[in-house]
Chains A and B, each alone.
Chain A
Amino acid sequence: MSGGQLRSAVAVVGLSIQEGVRKRVFLAVLVLTAGFLALFGLGAHFAFDDVDEFAAGVPGVLDAHAFTGATIFGLAMFATLFLGAVLAVFLTLGVVRGDAESGLLQPIVVRPIGRTTMLLARFAGAALLSATYVVLVYLAACAITEATGNWSPDHLLGPALGLALAVAIIAALSLLASTLLSVTAQGIVVFMVFGAGLTAGLMAQIGTAIDSDSLHQIGRIASWTLPFEGLYAASLHALISDTSGLTGVILQLGPFGGSEAAGTGLIAWAFAYLAGVLALAAFVFARRDL
């Protein structure tokens, strides 16, 4: 990439971020996030209160406090991923076909920046904004569970980075969809893919719980086909990976638990997948008449 293209790419990344931040929808996302965090804080407070009251003086093999903390934080992780996915899709909605049809794309594409650089810059802007968003919401949820129940995840940074990479992959898939589909179709397809990935992940959890190899295998294939799901599951696993005994086992089998760690294989695959999706999007975009 030449110096001129790099300068242009930085300009487009800046435009993408400004565009995302200045739209009213972003303000709506922020308000909804504040609402979600407030409700989450309230819920966490009462959950910890109730469980401490319930479990007080009852010795047992299950650590009720850790169980509550991990479960409600798992719920927060799901909500964070969902909101991050909404933001990633919103920031990449109509970036190619939609913008080309409305005439927004042409004045930029005729500049010396080149189509591939422009596309990668649009991705970088969307991924940067949505990844930053999920990391901040994740850290806020961490602070809330720490403050309300004195519970924190076993690993703090790993799950945050896992979520960030997951939403970057969703942004890339959405960008690819924008090269092929109209705005409405793009939104529908990406959310269906997102929902399919999470459902497959849940199937894998159920497969592990009932010891079904077939279900577990389906879940694993889905995790690798749609690595944002694998990263999400691995992030959930990292929350409680050091929790031992029956509490750890039950948490791993729960709906907001993860039974498999990320491993270098999944992370390497996730990056390769991201590069592949972006390369495919660039290939399609380069051959598109505008």
Chain B
Amino acid sequence: MAGPVLAVRELSKRYGKQEALAGVDLEVEAGQLVGLLGPNGAGKSTLTKIACGLVRPSGGGVEVVGQPAGSPEARAALGYLAELFRFPGWCTADELLRFHQRLVGSAGGEVERRELLDLVELGDAAGKRVEAMSKGMQQRLGVAQALIGSPRLLLLDEPTSALDPVGRRIVRELLEELRRREVAVLLNSHLLSEVELICDHVAIIAGGRLVKAGTPEGLAGPAAVEVETASGVKTFEGAVREDAPRIVAELVAAGEQVYRVEVRHSSLEDVYLDAVGGQTG
């Protein structure tokens, strides 16, 4: 079995006295879509930048397709869209993609450029200058740029922050398509609902440490069964859906009158808030 596409081991990073990452472990397999969550300043972007070779780690290491992060082989295997990015305003969407094709050595030519622009629904904007595009269009162009050369790993740092709901849907569908193509994706996002919707796996970072990881369903497990009776609302913590009939039967047997039963699930937001302890950057 092939190893993980992205392997983060005991990763730490210090900026002077500030500890941005303190021993983070994380793996992303081929075709896996991992959501990286955390408050501002938690270390998400630093982790992504180390994986890209933009930032040097203070300790531990990152491997991309088995190669040290920052090596030419690792760089050739990844696509990256930064949270804060800018493309030369004077060049057109097509020129930008052509430039990146030359940087990557992609032989995809016009077919690849057209396919990628169509994928992010910018097919009609191939000849449009970047400076004439809205921020949302530029962000979608950024996603297309990151996909030049068919990378095995895609690192996206807040790729939908400037997008409207339609733009977000486009990117969401694109990510699902990438999953089908076995591309590994690490997605930094503050949009919990989005992460919950599309990610196979979620990792929550707070204070430079990985505080929680798992599938969205696993993390956001059932929390309680709530029953409204004549004597008030009774909450059965830890009870699941299957426990509801038994709980109701026991209450009725005990002489209670039951008016409403609700199986409560904790959302990813609850899990997140619980994990980060109300931290915000």
Contact = CB atoms under 8 A, between A and B. Distances in A.
**Best-surrounded residue of A22, A107, A289 (most CB of chain B within 10 A):** A107
Contacts of B91: 18
Interface string B53-85: 111100000000000000011011010111011
B102 A11 contact: yes
Contacts, number: 76
Given A22-B90, A111-B75, A290-B55, A106 B80 contact: yes
A143 B49 CA distance: 54
Interface residues of B, number: 30
A106 B159 CA distance: 15
Contacts of A19: 88, 90
A14 to B, nearest CB: 8
Given A112-B72, A290-B55, A7 B105 contact: yes
Contact of A15 (B49, B78, B99, B104): B99
Contacts of A23: 90
Interface in A1-43: 2, 4-5, 7-8, 10-12, 15, 18-19, 22-23
Nearest to A104: B86
Which DSSP category, helix, strand, loop or mixed, fits chain B's interface? mixed
B160 interface: no
Which DSSP category, helix, strand, loop or mixed, fits chain A's interface? helix
A107 B105 contact: no
Contact of A107 (B73, B76, B80, B90): B80
Contacts of A114: 72
A122 to B, nearest CB: 13
Contact of A111 (B55, B84, B88, B103): B103
**Best-surrounded residue of A15, A106, A108, A114 (most CB of chain B within 10 A):** A106
Contacts of A109: 53-54
A102 interface: yes
Contacts of B102: 7-8, 10-11
Given A106-B80, A106-B85, A112 B104 contact: yes
Interface in A41-90: none
B171 interface: no
Given A8-B102, A11-B102, A290-B54, A103 B86 contact: yes
Given A7-B105, A15-B88, A22-B90, A103 B82 contact: yes
B85 A110 contact: no
A113 interface: yes
Interface of B: 15, 49, 52-56, 72-73, 75-76, 78, 80-82, 84-88, 90-91, 99-100, 102-105, 142, 145
Interface of A: 2, 4-5, 7-8, 10-12, 15, 18-19, 22-23, 102-104, 106-114, 287, 289-290
Closest 8 CB pairs of A and B: A11-B102, A111-B103, A103-B85, A290-B54, A103-B84, A22-B90, A289-B55, A112-B75
